[in-house]
A and B are shown apart, each in its own frame.
Chain A
Amino acid sequence: MEVFEAIKNRRSVRKYKAEPIPDELIEKILEAGRWAPTGGNLQPWKFIIVKDPKILDMIRKVSPGYLGAAPFAIVVCSDRERAYKIGGKLGRDYLCIADCSMAVENMLLAAHALGLGACPVKSFSPVALKEILDIPAGIEPELIVIIGYPDKKPSRPPRFPLEGITYINKYGEKWLKEK
């Protein structure tokens, strides 16, 4: 799939089929995450693959934003402790979130290109997630990516036009597309 096509047609899927996902596709999605940009090559991410239906069900129950019973999830965590040692406050408080978000975007695009649907979830209880997944101190769950074969593809949501969000040379200087 062509990259612009993947970017424009990806949607946050919230209704899934129960069909399981082959391991080779899961690995491809993880690889896409691993190759995301990362500040100072920090690579703060840790990925927890969740396939066990019982664990998945518990995660869904403590995550109000986990909508639709996706058969598989990747919990993207950051190693905040290591990030602080290497990158100081910037590493811990900013790069962990930015890098994990970039990894998640790569995963979402990869899932879409593989014919899967996915949705990033931030509305979860970190306290509950740490308890369920035995996440140690210093490691922070940043996002959950729920993945499955889409049962319903959402329609395209509105976006601000480029002209409304883009300036040229300095903030406020209107950017006009060349005719």
Chain B
Amino acid sequence: MKEEKKVTGDEYLFEIAVFLATSARGCMDEPPLYGPFRLIDGLSRLIDLPKYASCLSDDAFLKRMKAEIDEKKFLVMFDPEEFRKFLDELVHQFTRKLKERTLR
């Protein structure tokens, strides 16, 4: 069986850069709701960065957020109101974590 090529941190960062650049151009013509979708999908991809860049460490909170994003991001396709609630809740969780990290 062929061994899978290991993706480096540099390569993964470049992949995210390409994703963001093509998303930015796409958002000029795509439905407006795809903007938040691309941002949240980009965030999910960004959270994976420590997997490829050994100088970064895994963050349990971010990993939990990623799992939540990947589970709920497709709400945008069929239930924009629920997608909005999910984003509100996500921001809420990030803000609580921000407070905790700032004030500790």
Contacts and interface: CB of A to CB of B under 8 A. Distances in A.
A49 to B, nearest CB: 20
Contacts, number: 31
A64 B78 contact: no
Nearest to A127: B25
B24 to A, nearest CB: 9
A63 interface: yes
Number of chain B interface residues as a range: 10 to 19
Contact of A123 (B15, B34, B74, B78): B34
Number of chain A interface residues as a range: 10 to 19
A62 B15 CA distance: 9
Contact of A157 (B18, B38, B78): B78
B26 interface: yes
B77 A64 contact: no
Nearest to B19: A64
A61 B25 CA distance: 14
A64 B15 contact: no
Interface in B4-41: 15, 18-19, 22-23, 25-26, 30, 34, 38, 41
